Chain A
């Protein structure tokens, strides 16, 4: 039996509707550590005006946000903080890695800098550049909106990124002896206490 629809009613999948709502009201959490943060500020400021794309509501509390923008290099001392903030954010959530440093370590291939945050947290969108221009960041946000519309969060397709992440992790060359005192590292301790799966232990 066909259902008669009035003219002003459209049928859509719930998933699609939810994605549509989500993509147009992204609330970014600026995790700005270094120079890229200045460009992030410029993106939000008068000239470039991120508000045109519905993503200007910067909130500094992870509980309120669904898009983390990591702008700048993340170093050893900062990574546990980053992971904690990521865990504090509610699903659905996305992550943009802004700049060469956040994506790959950039010019800082040194003992203290994490060579790409995607080794430790999932990343949806990478923005190249040192620093990326504000226009590039805006482009990344538009692309992310596309991605949200395409993938949704109900199908679980975004979990693909974890597979990719694991593959990249396998390439990590951990040479020599570990110099970190595991007994005093809170994140490692938590990992040991609540092991989740074999493959993810460092």
Chain B
């Protein structure tokens, strides 16, 4: 990997953050893959956890997304949310995972903490149908309002269910 030479420093810096987090939230699961530190939290402590992270200096929320583990071999929980955070001061990165299940998957919204969460959460709602409790304006972001399915779920086919051709046809005579 290109950043091989800087890997060690990244690791140790991120470790500090993990230690202080583990002290505050006992039972935190963390893992590292290719220098990227990931922690798994429960939906219950999410708000408190993210508030704490923000105080630790993780001031930028890079991305909120989700993975549907429906067809993933050996997976036990269905939706895994991914929060990517960066501390712009030190350049540290942290990946936070949060798992929820059917039916009615819902997690607390963090749009009060980071503005960027607003649209990213709307996108996750649109694509996966995960409700963000406390979100100020949870509408579809990408698909039309009258669309009913959540297309990035694994049980939704790539070609859709015919919605894309559910339109009236205009011919020459209509001009």
Chain A residue contacts of B149, Cβ below 8 A: 179
Interface class of chain B by DSSP? loop
Max chain B Cβ within 10 angstroms of own Cβ: one of A76, A122, A185: A76
**Are B162 and A187 touching (Cβ within 8 A)?**
no
**Are A174 and B158 touching (Cβ within 8 A)?**
no
Binds B, one of A19-27, A29-37, A77-85: A77-85
Residue A91 at the B interface, CB < 8 A? yes
Interface class of chain A by DSSP? loop
Binds A, one of B25-33, B58-66, B95-103, B164-172: B164-172
On whether A166 and B171 interact (CB within 8 A), knowing A112-B151, A184-B146, the answer reads: yes
Residue B161 at the A interface, CB < 8 A? yes
Chain B residue contacts of A75, Cβ below 8 A: 164
Max chain B Cβ within 10 angstroms of own Cβ: one of A87, A115, A173, A179: A179
Proximity bits, B38-68, A CB within 8 Å = 1, else 0: 0000000000000000000000000000000
B146, B151, B159: the one contacting A180 at CB < 8 Å is: B146
Chain B residue contacts of A165, Cβ below 8 A: 169, 171
> How many residues of A are in contact with the other chain, CB < 8 A?
50
Residue A172 at the B interface, CB < 8 A? yes
Chain B residue contacts of A180, Cβ below 8 A: 146-148, 163, 166
Q: How far is the CA of A111 from the CA of B165 in the complex (A)?
A: 10
Q: How far is the CA of A89 from the CA of B172 in the complex (A)?
A: 12
Chain A residue contacts of B169, Cβ below 8 A: 119-120, 165-166, 169, 200, 202
| A202 → chain B closest CB, angstroms | 6
On whether A200 and B171 interact (CB within 8 A), knowing A111-B158, A113-B164, the answer reads: yes
**Are A114 and B159 touching (Cβ within 8 A)?**
no
Q: What residue of chain A has the Cβ atom nearest to residue B148's Cβ?
A: A179
Q: How far is the CA of A6 from the CA of B167 in the complex (A)?
A: 57
Chain A residue contacts of B166, Cβ below 8 A: 174, 178, 180, 182, 185, 188, 202
| B65 → chain A closest CB, angstroms | 18
Binds B, one of A10-18, A50-58, A139-147, A156-164: A156-164
Q: How far is the CA of A120 from the CA of B174 in the complex (A)?
A: 11
Chain A residue contacts of B162, Cβ below 8 A: 173-176, 178-179
Chain A residue contacts of B171, Cβ below 8 A: 122, 159, 161-162, 165-166, 200
Q: What residue of chain A has the Cβ atom nearest to residue B168's Cβ?
A: A191
Residue B173 at the A interface, CB < 8 A? yes
Residue B89 at the A interface, CB < 8 A? no
On whether A77 and B144 interact (CB within 8 A), knowing A115-B165, A179-B149, the answer reads: yes
Q: What residue of chain B has the Cβ atom nearest to residue A162's Cβ?
A: B171
Question: Which residues from chain B sit less than 8 Å from chain A, CB to CB?
Answer: 143-149, 151, 156-175
Apart from A159-B171, A179-B149, list 18 A-B contacts with CB within 8 A.
A76-B164, A83-B167, A89-B175, A110-B158, A111-B156, A111-B157, A111-B163, A112-B160, A114-B165, A120-B168, A165-B171, A180-B147, A180-B163, A181-B148, A184-B146, A188-B167, A191-B168, A196-B174
Q: List 15 A-B contacts (CB under 8 A).
A: A76-B143, A76-B144, A76-B147, A93-B175, A111-B156, A111-B158, A111-B160, A112-B143, A120-B169, A162-B171, A165-B169, A174-B166, A179-B149, A180-B148, A200-B168
Question: Which residues from chain A sit less than 8 Å from chain B, CB to CB?
Answer: 75-77, 79-80, 83, 86-87, 89, 91, 93, 109-115, 119-122, 158-159, 161-162, 165-166, 169, 172-182, 184-185, 187-188, 190-191, 196, 200-202
